[in-house]
Amino acid sequence: MNDALPKWADIALIPLLNLTLALIVSGLVVGFIGEDPFEVLSLLIEGAVGSADGWSYTLYYATNFIFTGLGVAVAFHARLFNIGGEGQAMLGGLGVALALLYVPWPHWSLALLAAMTGAALFGAAWAAIPAWLQARRGSHIVITTIMFNFIASALMVYLLSRVLLVPGAGGSPETARFAAATNLPAIGDLYALMGWGCVERPIASVCRAPLNIAFLLALLAGFAVWALLWRTRLGYEIRAFGHSEPAALYAGISPTKIIMVAMLISGGLCGLMAINAVMGEAERLVIDPVQGAGFVGIAVALMGRSHPIGICLAALLFGMLYQGGGYVEFDIPAISREMILVIQALVILFTGALDNMVRAPMEALFLNRRRPEPALPTSATRSDGDPKERKVEP
Amino acid sequence: MTIFKTLMGASAALALGAGAALADPGLIIDLGGKFDKSFNESAFNGAQRWVEETGGEYYETELANEAQREQTMRRMAERGANPVVVLGFANASTLDAVAPDYPDTDFVIVDSVVEQPNVKSIVFSEHEGSYLVGMMAAMASETGTVSFIGGMDVPLISKFACGYAQGAKAVSPDIDVIVNMTGTTPTAWNDPVKGAELTRSQISQGSDVVYAAAGGTGIGVLQAAADADILSIGVDSNQNYLHPGEVLTSMVKRVDNAVYDAFTAGEAGELETGVEVLGLENEGVGVAVDENNQELVTEEMTAAIDEAKAQIASGEVEVHDYLSDNNCPAY
């Protein structure tokens, strides 16, 4: 990344400008169909963060996106474009289901450990084949990972409608529910524990919200990814390989090893998403537990500039769009499900694809401002950055 | 939010005072989307017909992902919609958890059974309707091979296929029935190009009657069959008009009627909870005959179908339901 921008502008100002542009264009689109953009925006925000219920769902979606976003980001650092998060998360779901269906776990914490192992192993295994093909045979990872998404979905349909199906369940392609002992503590349990309600019926909506302990796991995973990439030798090798393969090779870093390791970690993180969606929310394996989170993870990683903090913030934003979007769709009949998709797509377009449109003028602006001290532009840039922040620079 | 809460309070008070009859009904469209040319669209059409005929209003929303199911059901109920109609088997376990929290609200679920005192479950005997069109296909076939194209490979579609194969084999035991599914992702419901390809492949294997139970994909199946001058069979709604004289018949599944009736009964406060099976006898499923296909349907076919209907009604012929054991004896 170049040094034209101070760190704060790179990680905060540019995404905010991008987001504002996306919202303006979305507002125009909403205006075109005859609805009030401000009403839609305020409903969207109210739905996403206006109540405990809204927050719970927002953070639930964000949890999914943090996992897939981190997965995509780790691969990004090795300059690998993993668009197979969808399939890896599906297989992660299978790992969770297999770990939970056949063992009578006495307590959720043991079940969680087993499910995490299953999810990460299956997700990583699904990423391993494209990784090997890339490392050894040069098959492009973009092509192979997206093909593996389709294979994953075919495998899931086969398993759920032929093998793992509960007989006589009315034909719904899903497994039996996991045992109650394996259910993860959710936001409703916290409410009950703290005496905030959720004990007697009728219970508030928040008590049934799917936000669960996987959210904390996602934050931990974020920290672990940061520590891995910027505090370990392996992380350094991954980043060095991503910056320049010939240089990495010259430094004695094995490309095969880095491609394999980066993709295994990436697949494992995507697979862990299933802890939230399969073990935490559905409590059974349904035919498509991922629901596009693997692809949203790409946008989240792009927007978060492949840094765990950025990813958490971007995931929160997408969680808000998901939850608030559903709220808007419910309240304003003219705003359909597809319209919400358009707004989400605009955010992705502006933050991902059109990033340079904002970045180039901003860089020019910042360079202009520095002209008064022309002698050493690079050292001026350095003194701009907070030393704490500079440590995490990729 | 404050207005919303006032409304909620008001409707709750109404519900307590005057029973649930005064509320507007609600419809939750499932993940396939409102215009899936099939199941959801049929339900939507039923709701629209109710609006046109009664001038009433209803709440409607479309799910965008799995996690919204429970949230949306609760919001509908809290907003005072009554009855709340949900579509598809995927809602069953969620509804089972939600319904007890809203004892004053009636719920209707289509295509699955939920055993709660305030839930009406509507299921269709698709296998029986498919059995009848299978008989017609076997009687119309000259090559001794008929075929089936399903949408997404899920057990519900195998229920259609299995009924069809049984019907065909009931007419001529050594007939060949080719069964293909379009795909394994939800896009299989809306892939007319692939539907047409599969049709051509089945024609090359000798099929001369093809039955499509594949949502929007079926449009391509019917088109390819008409292009190759063989017969096709439509599904869900009456699709005979799509290619007059080329579509043998349609296996109609009246999801629209189910929704319409639920709305009407709900408005009159007469919705009966429990399980309702819509089959041949109450025209929940059936065989469509109109001016577009009457020349194709011979008297012999009509007689055979009427006889089979009577035999199924009396229990003399039992059409195997694939969902009961995930197995099909006919193929």
- For residue A3, pLDDT over 80 is answered with no
Indicate whether B63 and B206 sit together in one domain.
no
Q: What is the pLDDT of residue B19?
A: 40
Q: How far is A70 from chain B (nearest CA, A)?
A: 22
Q: What is the pLDDT of residue A272?
A: 96
Q: What is the pLDDT of residue B324?
A: 83
Residue of A nearest to B1 (CA): A46
Indicate whether A257 and A162 sit together in one domain.
yes
Higher-scoring residue by pLDDT: A9, B74: B74
The CATH number of residue B80's host domain is: 3.40.50.2300
The CATH number of residue A63's host domain is: 1.10.3470
Three-state SS string over chain A comes to: CCCCCCHHHHHHHHHHHHHHHHHHHHHHHHHHCCCCHHHHHHHHHHHHHCCHHHHHHHHHHHHHHHHHHHHHHHHHHCCCCCCCHHHHHHHHHHHHHHHHHCCCCCCHHHHHHHHHHHHHHHHHHHHHHHHHHHHHHCCCHHHHHHHHHHHHHHHHHHHHHHHCCCCCCCCCCCCCCCCHHHCCCEHHHHHHHHCCCCCCCCCCHHHHCCCECHHHHHHHHHHHHHHHHHHCHHHHHHHHHHHCHHHHHHCCCCHHHHHHHHHHHHHHHHHHHHHHHHHHHHCCCCCCCCCCHHHHHHHHHHHCCCCHHHHHHHHHHHHHHHHHHHHHHHHCCCCCHHHHHHHHHHHHHHHHHCHHHHHHHHHHHHHHHHCCCCCCHHHHHHHHCCHHHHCCCC
B97 to each of A297, B71, B114, B115, B242, how far by Cα in Å? 31, 12, 10, 11, 42
Q: What is the pLDDT of residue B3?
A: 42
Q: Tell whether A323 is covered by a domain.
A: no
A374 pLDDT tier (thresholds 50, 70, 90): low
Q: What is the pLDDT of residue B271?
A: 87
Indicate whether B135 and B244 sit together in one domain.
yes
A150 pLDDT tier (thresholds 50, 70, 90): very high
Could you tell me how far CA B169 lies from the centroid of its own chain? 24
Q: What is the pLDDT of residue B171?
A: 94
Indicate whether B230 and B160 sit together in one domain.
yes
Q: How far is A230 from chain B (nearest CA, A)?
A: 35
| Residues B89, A203: C-beta atoms closer than 8 Å | no
B13 pLDDT tier (thresholds 50, 70, 90): very low
- φ and ψ of B181, to 5 deg: -105, 145
- Choose one of A262, A292, A307: the last residue of a domain: A307
Q: How many separate domains does chain B show?
A: 2
Indicate whether B208 and B262 sit together in one domain.
no
B200 to each of A193, A242, B206, B209, B210, how far by Cα in Å? 62, 48, 10, 12, 10
Pick the closest to residue A141 from A129, A155, A156 (CA basis). A129
| Residues B100, A201: C-beta atoms closer than 8 Å | yes
B78 pLDDT tier (thresholds 50, 70, 90): confident
Q: What is the pLDDT of residue A164?
A: 83
Q: Which of A172, A178, A322, A344 to mutate to test the interface with B (most CBs of B within 10 A)?
A: A172
Least CB-CB distance to B323: which of A46, A170, A322? A170
- pLDDT tens for B114-143 read 889 999 999 999 999 999 999 999 999 999
Q: Which of B62, B65, B152, B191 to mutate to test the interface with A (most CBs of A within 10 A)?
A: B65
Indicate whether B67 and B200 sit together in one domain.
no
- pLDDT tens for B271-323 read 888 999 998 888 889 999 999 999 999 999 999 999 999 999 898 989 998 88
- For residue A300, pLDDT over 70 is answered with yes
Q: Tell whether B100 is covered by a domain.
A: yes
Q: What percent of chain B has pLDDT over 90?
A: 56
- pLDDT tens for A17-38 read 888 999 899 999 999 988 899 9
Residue of A nearest to B73 (CA): A205
Higher-scoring residue by pLDDT: A308, A173: A308
Q: For residue B286, what are the β-bridge partners?
A: B252
Residue of B nearest to A61 (CA): B67
Indicate whether A351 and A222 sit together in one domain.
no
| H helix intervals, B178-321 | 192-204, 217-227, 255-267, 299-314
Measured CA to CA, the distance from residue A130 to residue A137 in angstroms comes to: 10
Measured CA to CA, the distance from residue B109 to residue B115 in angstroms comes to: 11
- For residue B186, pLDDT over 80 is answered with no
- pLDDT tens for B145-160 read 999 999 888 888 999 9
Q: How many separate domains does chain A show?
A: 2
Pairing type for strands B247-253 and B285-287 reads antiparallel
Q: How far is A9 from chain B (nearest CA, A)?
A: 35
Which stretch of A169-173, A206-210, A297-301 has the lowest confidence by average pLDDT? A169-173
Residues of A in contact with B325 (CB under 8 A): 167-168
* Count of C-beta atoms within a 10 Å radius of residue B223: 18
- Choose one of A307, A324, A343: the last residue of a domain: A307
Q: What is the pLDDT of residue A372?
A: 60
Q: How far is A329 from chain B (nearest CA, A)?
A: 7
- pLDDT tens for A264-284 read 999 999 999 999 999 998 888
Measured CA to CA, the distance from residue A293 to residue B9 in angstroms comes to: 37
Indicate whether A188 and A274 sit together in one domain.
yes
B5 pLDDT tier (thresholds 50, 70, 90): very low
Indicate whether B90 and B148 sit together in one domain.
no
Q: What is the mean pLDDT of residues B4-13?
A: 41
Indicate whether B213 and B267 sit together in one domain.
no
Residue of A nearest to B32 (CA): A337
Residues of A in contact with B185 (CB under 8 A): 150, 153, 157, 288
Indicate whether B118 and B212 sit together in one domain.
no
Q: How far is A241 from chain B (nearest CA, A)?
A: 36
Indicate whether A58 and A31 sit together in one domain.
no
- Within 13 Å, how many C-alpha atoms sit on residue A43's CB side? 17
* A333 has a chain B CB within 8 A of its CB: yes
Q: Tell whether B158 is covered by a domain.
A: yes
Q: Tell whether A343 is covered by a domain.
A: yes
Least CB-CB distance to A202: which of B101, B112, B185? B101
- For residue B213, pLDDT over 60 is answered with yes
Q: What is the pLDDT of residue A202?
A: 62
Q: What is the pLDDT of residue A168?
A: 54
Indicate whether B265 and B304 sit together in one domain.
no
Indicate whether A301 and A360 sit together in one domain.
no
Which stretch of A136-150, A380-394, B19-33, B81-95 has the lowest confidence by average pLDDT? A380-394
List the end-to-end C-alpha distance of chain B, in Å, as a whole number: 57
Q: Tell whether B285 is covered by a domain.
A: no
Indicate whether B263 and B245 sit together in one domain.
no
Peptide bond connecting B25 to the previous residue in cis, omega within 30 degrees of 0: no
Q: Tell whether A327 is covered by a domain.
A: no
Angle at B75 between CA A46 and CA A194, to 5 degrees: 70
Residue of B nearest to A287 (CA): B185
Which stretch of A38-47, B89-98, B146-155, B184-193 has the lowest confidence by average pLDDT? B184-193
| Residues B184, A282: C-beta atoms closer than 8 Å | no
Domain containing residue A119: 54-307
Q: What is the pLDDT of residue B14?
A: 39
Structure tokens at B248: 């043998």
Indicate whether A341 and A254 sit together in one domain.
no
- For residue B17, pLDDT over 60 is answered with no
Indicate whether B170 and B311 sit together in one domain.
yes
| Residues A282, B66: C-beta atoms closer than 8 Å | yes
A77 pLDDT tier (thresholds 50, 70, 90): very high
Structure tokens at B231: 């017969």
Indicate whether A288 and A159 sit together in one domain.
yes
Indicate whether A296 and A378 sit together in one domain.
no
Q: A274 near A92, Cβ under 8 Å?
A: yes
| Residues B155, A173: C-beta atoms closer than 8 Å | yes
Indicate the residue type of B231.
L
Indicate whether A296 and A384 sit together in one domain.
no
Measured CA to CA, the distance from residue A307 to residue A318 in angstroms comes to: 16
Indicate whether A260 and A376 sit together in one domain.
no
Indicate whether A113 and A259 sit together in one domain.
yes
* Helix, coil or strand: residue B39: helix
Q: What is the pLDDT of residue B179?
A: 94
Q: What is the pLDDT of residue A381?
A: 44
Q: Tell whether B87 is covered by a domain.
A: yes
Residue of A nearest to B91 (CA): A172
A62 pLDDT tier (thresholds 50, 70, 90): very high
Domain containing residue B115: 2-124+256-278
Q: A366 near A13, Cβ under 8 Å?
A: no
- pLDDT tens for B22-48 read 588 999 998 777 877 678 888 999 999
Structure tokens at B268: 């009159």
Least CB-CB distance to A286: which of B66, B155, B156? B66
Indicate whether A26 and A60 sit together in one domain.
no
Helix axes A337-348, A293-303, angle to 10 degrees: 30
Q: Tell whether B288 is covered by a domain.
A: no
Indicate whether B193 and B304 sit together in one domain.
yes
- For residue A245, pLDDT over 80 is answered with yes
Least CB-CB distance to B1: which of A46, A157, A277? A46
